[in-house]
Structure 1
Amino acid sequence: MFRDLSRPIETGMPTYPGDPDVTLAPDATHEADGYATSELRTGTHAGTHVDAPRHTLPGGETIDGVDAGRFAFDARLVDCRPLEPREPIGAEALPDPDAGDPGTPGATALDPAVDLLVLRTGWAAHWGTDRYRDHPYLTAAAAERCRELGVGVGLDALGPDPTPPGPAATGPDGSRDAEPDGTPAHDALLGDSLPIVENLCGLEDLPPRFRLYAFPLRLRDGDGSPVRAVAEWEG
């Protein structure tokens, strides 16, 4: 079975604060030109996309320098729900290399074939609203757990680090003082060339294990790229 886990690219779609707006408009038309083409203007991190190490690390690998096969993942779904706005996701929510995988009853270890943890936060439901910015984020310990496991991260949210809040946003205690500055989770993962796939959707009833294909555009010296993210599993 296959399922598209990516957001449609369209004019006015949500973007990370400060990123370029997305426009998709007709260029040539059948009526005027006898054929149709469109003009797309977008940032490299719009919609469902993958980050290259160059995204947060000046000397990091670029998206066109990453072998295409590294974007075909053996994925493990981790259900982190329920979560509050801007709630940190700790290492205890992730598989433990010593105690096994908490998401699978009776499991004794995380399959070493897994190279991507897909974190279901529930924040896909807030796409298109200010609350989407108030997604949960990975703690330093959680990012370190991923490094220990040698796995990347996919999320149904803007990213693994906190996003600047929307106009009406507040954290669980009304304060952001405890939130990390900068991009520490990005840096920890991308520093080990571990993938990050952001703004996934359609995670509600996925099986615990599946293949995830998220092939980027071959952008010269790119820091990331929109993808068509597709899950595959046996029906």
Structure 2
Amino acid sequence: MQFIDLSREIYHKMPRLLNHPSIVITPYSTHDEIREAEGVKFSSATLSLAIGDHAGTHVDAPVHFNADPGAKAIHELPLEDFYLEAVCLDLSHKELKSDISIADLEAAEKAAGVTIGPRDMVLLHMNFYNRCYDTPGYLTDFPGLTKESAEWLGAKKIAMFGVEAVSPGRPGKNNFEVHMVCRDMGFTHVEGLVNMEALIGKGRFRFIGFPLKIRGGTGSPIRAVAILGQ
């Protein structure tokens, strides 16, 4: 059994979309502060975290893109939604700022030798993190799904899909439309994944990415992991 860590580190002032809160991590107490209790001296260190519910590698809850009063927040979603059979499609050849078409997905599915089925997690490897992280283009230049290609995934009754980028569709109209497809077809997505190159050619595997139990959360950071060879 092999564990592949698909999660980004969360750190002070890490890149994020400007319509989400800045990530602020500062020391709260340090080992320089010595305390004493019942004659025993000791120290402890803790950090203060101020992050949004879409920080780092995270999943969107339905309430993020659905204004319906019945849309579920992250704490209301069942744990089985985050423990899924998964496949990874290789789209690393896609140019930056390009659209991912239905034909691209069909070709990648065939090349992977898998069949996407109901309740699957579909990971879309675009080699974007390796190409653009720590550059200005990280927030803007990723390939992305279109309304039509997102609907193609939704028609397969998937549970969710995942991307390396900060959004599933390219900035602007595409991204809004992909979110609306998720709303209308009843699935969601993970953003900010890494290390998906390790999953190419591996067939089916297990995806785990449990969210924090944030009451009313519109999303949550997750520790995304792929398990091979179960």
The TM-score with structure 2 as length reference comes to 0.86
Task: Name the structure 1 match of 2:167.
Answer: 159
Task: Name the structure 1 match of 2:38.
Answer: none
1:128 to partner: Cα distance: 2.2
Is 1:145 the equivalent of 2:152?
yes
Is 1:134 the equivalent of 2:146?
no
Is 1:103 the equivalent of 2:96?
no
Is 1:201 the equivalent of 2:206?
no
Query: Contact (CA 8 Å) 2:92, 2:128: kept in 1 or not?
Result: no
Going from structure 1 to structure 2, the CA distance change for 1:186 and 1:46 (only over 3 Å counts) comes to same
Is 1:223 the equivalent of 2:229?
no
Query: Contact (CA 8 Å) 1:210, 1:232: kept in 2 or not?
Result: yes
Query: Contact (CA 8 Å) 1:14, 1:127: kept in 2 or not?
Result: no
Q: Secondary structure at the match of 2:117?
A: coil
Query: Contact (CA 8 Å) 2:118, 2:156: kept in 1 or not?
Result: no
Aligned length: 214
Cα deviation 1:14-45 (Å, max 9, x = unaligned): 10123211111110112214211110011111
Instruction: Choose from 70, 78, 96 the match for 2:81.
Output: 70
Q: Secondary structure at the match of 1:103?
A: helix
Aligned CA RMSD, in angstroms, stands at 2.0
Task: Name the structure 1 match of 2:123.
Answer: 118
1:13 to partner: Cα distance: 0.7
Instruction: Choose from 202, 207, 210 the match for 2:205.
Output: 210
1:122 to partner: Cα distance: 1.1
- Unpaired stretches in structure 2, ≥5 consecutive residues: 35-42
Cα deviation 1:97-136 (Å, max 9, x = unaligned): xxx931334x6xx153651110001111112211112111
State the AA in 2 paired with 1:183.
Answer: F
Task: Name the structure 2 match of 1:175.
Answer: none
Over 4 Å off, 4+ runs: none
| Identity among equivalent pairs (%) | 31
State the AA in 2 paired with 1:46.
Answer: A
The separation in 2 between residues aligned to 1:123 and 1:221, in whole angstroms, is 31
Query: Contact (CA 8 Å) 1:53, 1:191: kept in 2 or not?
Result: no
- Unpaired stretches in structure 1, ≥5 consecutive residues: 164-178
Higher helix content, 1 or 2: 2
Going from structure 1 to structure 2, the CA distance change for 1:182 and 1:103 (only over 3 Å counts) comes to closer
Query: Contact (CA 8 Å) 1:78, 1:117: kept in 2 or not?
Result: yes
The separation in 2 between residues aligned to 1:92 and 1:114, in whole angstroms, is 22
Task: Name the structure 1 match of 2:49.
Answer: 40
Which structure is larger by alpha-carbon Rg, 1 or 2?
2
The TM-score with structure 1 as length reference comes to 0.84
Q: Secondary structure at the match of 1:142?
A: helix
Q: Secondary structure at the match of 2:47?
A: strand
